[in-house]
């Protein structure tokens, strides 16, 4: 079957509905993935999905393909992806597929394929899936697999209720932008006895508020205003599959997720002194400084939640965090990202310390920091563009510490004494990703001007679309 090769990405599969994806392709992918599983001696898979308009249809088609190859499936229905990972342990099934395009716009959908507890496939296996798909390399089973529908949400909630105990009752704003978490997060928080202010919790797959991405400034500002209006203690936003969160404090302050990495590092190191904290190379310098100050061992690694999870088999970090909002409480929960558990963990830390979130944030080294900025660049051009940029930056910043090849091949990080910036290509879409910060406003403005002029120099950049582009001026 002919499939757009660019939908096979670094750690998942994403494409446009009706153009790159349809039920026939979903069934074909089920046959390919099922054949991969059978050849590895595996015969069961967990299936779940987000709220997107095509997710249920694609889920049913994928199951049909898996059953064709003899794989037995358990369909747990619409849940957050953290619940999907949790279900692997609960059902003792290490493999499965979650249907989502995460924070991509409404016209997209996709698949996260899991082979192993808490893990989704990354480059090597995704490339194999692509090659097998192109060759129609699948096998029909003599005895087809059987699909079973099973709800596990109650059991998941009960497990969380046992794990997390709170001494303080918070007033909480939940704004998932009409996505999957709207059906789940308020229900759970009410079981904990919290007062929940529900904003945009009604599911609407037309994405009436735009892209569902907690790192977008417009989403963060909306949450901020909602917290202030409600006189709440804290606010949470979610992406479409619920593995990432966004935060606003009680004053409406936007807390970017690398600062939240630093906060979680303090909380984890209090319980696990001296342990390693892993974070990706988009994160603020404040993260490393906080880890060292609290007696931990900092370990920077490349961007990508699946890549970080895989690396942790070697590193054994107690906690992993990303700027995008993926958090892994590996020492206390599981080695996967679960936005619901991240939310509960932050509430637990606030309860333990007796401090407000703004008071906790004030303990973190202060940098003037941009949000994560994504600028349009076609998939077939972005890799070569970053190669060119990676040669130019060391020439323009000869005194900077350059971090690239020893950690990643998708971008470059330049670190100065009181500032840093990152330019890389996205694994998830046709974008170049940018992040920069400085201690002083003057230096911040200089970096902003440099990066803007640098990217405007290249014709490969498409300024007609992106995320937080206005922050480059």
Residues labelled as active-site residues: 102
Q: Which helix (H) or strand (E) holds 98?
A: strand 95-99
Match 């310390």 to its residue by tokens.
353
Strand order from edge to edge, sheet including 254-255: 195-198, 171-175, 234-238, 245-248, 254-255
Q: Which helix (H) or strand (E) holds 264?
A: helix 257-271
**CA distances to 140, 248, 341, 349, 357 from 353, in Å:** 57, 18, 18, 6, 10
Report how far residue 72's alpha carbon sits from residue 75's, in angstroms, rounded to the nearest whole number.
10
Report how far residue 173's alpha carbon sits from residue 226's, in angstroms, rounded to the nearest whole number.
7
Residue 431 sits at the vertex; the CA angle it makes with 428 and 433, to the nearest 5 degrees, is 95
Mapped onto helix, strand or coil, the DSSP state of residue 374 is: strand
The full length of the chain comes to: 473
Give 173's strand partners: 197, 235
Structure token digits, residue 145: 């697999």
Q: Are 232 and 197 in contact (CB under 8 A)?
A: yes
Terminal-to-terminal C-alpha distance of the chain: 44
Mapped onto helix, strand or coil, the DSSP state of residue 113 is: strand
Nearest CA to 442 out of 450, 433, 431, 452 is that of 450
């Amino acid at each position: 079957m002919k499939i757009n090769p660019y939908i096979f990405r670094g750690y998942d599969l994403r494409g446009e509905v009706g153009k790159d994806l349809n039920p026939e392709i979903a069934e074909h992918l089920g046959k390919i993935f099922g054949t991969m599983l059978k050849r590895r001696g595996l015969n069961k898979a967990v299936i779940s999905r987000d709220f997107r308009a095509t997710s249920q249809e694609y889920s049913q088609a994928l199951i049909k393909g898996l059953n064709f190859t003899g794989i037995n499936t358990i369909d747990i229905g619409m849940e957050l992806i953290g619940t999907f990972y949790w279900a692997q342990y609960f059902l003792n099934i290490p493999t499965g597929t979650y249907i989502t395009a995460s924070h991509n716009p409404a016209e997209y959908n996709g698949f996260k394929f899991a082979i192993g507890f808490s893990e989704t496939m990354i480059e090597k296996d995704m490339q194999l899936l692509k090659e097998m798909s192109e060759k129609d390399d699948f096998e029909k089973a003599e005895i087809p697999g059987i699909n079973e529908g099973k709800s596990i949400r109650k059991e998941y909630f009960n497990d969380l209720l046992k794990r997390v105990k709170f001494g303080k009752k918070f007033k909480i704003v939940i704004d998932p932008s009409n996505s999957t978490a709207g059906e789940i997060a308020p229900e759970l928080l009410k079981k904990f006895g919290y007062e929940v202010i529900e904003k945009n919790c009604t599911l609407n797959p037309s994405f009436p508020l735009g892209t569902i991405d907690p790192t977008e400034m417009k989403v963060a500002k909306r949450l901020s205003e909602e917290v202030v209006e409600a006189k709440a203690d804290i606010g949470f936003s979610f992406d479409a599959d619920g593995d990432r969160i966004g935060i606003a404090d009680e004053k409406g302050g936007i807390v970017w997720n690398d600062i939240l990495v630093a906060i979680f590092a303090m909380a984890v190191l209090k319980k696990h002194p001296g342990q390693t904290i892993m974070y990706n190379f988009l994160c603020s310098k404040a993260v490393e400084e906080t880890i060292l100050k609290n007696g931990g061992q900092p370990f920077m690694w490349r961007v990508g939640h699946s890549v970080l999870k895989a690396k942790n088999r070697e590193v054994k970090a107690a906690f992993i965090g990303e700027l995008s909002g993926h958090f892994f409480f590996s020492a206390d929960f599981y080695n996967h990202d679960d936005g619901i558990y991240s939310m509960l963990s932050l509430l637990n830390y606030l309860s333990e310390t007796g401090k407000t979130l703004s008071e906790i944030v004030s303990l973190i080294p202060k940098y003037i920091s941009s949000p994560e900025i994504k600028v349009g660049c076609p998939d077939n051009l972005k890799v070569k563009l970053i190669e060119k940029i990676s040669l130019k930056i060391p020439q323009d910043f000869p005194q900077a510490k350059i971090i690239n090849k020893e950690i990643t091949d998708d971008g470059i990080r330049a670190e100065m004494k009181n500032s840093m910036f990152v330019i890389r290509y996205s694994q998830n879409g046709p974008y170049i990703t940018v992040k920069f910060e400085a201690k002083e406003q003057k230096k911040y403005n200089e970096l902003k001007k440099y990066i803007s002029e640098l990217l405007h120099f290249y014709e490969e950049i498409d300024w007609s679309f992106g995320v937080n582009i206005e922050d480059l001026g």
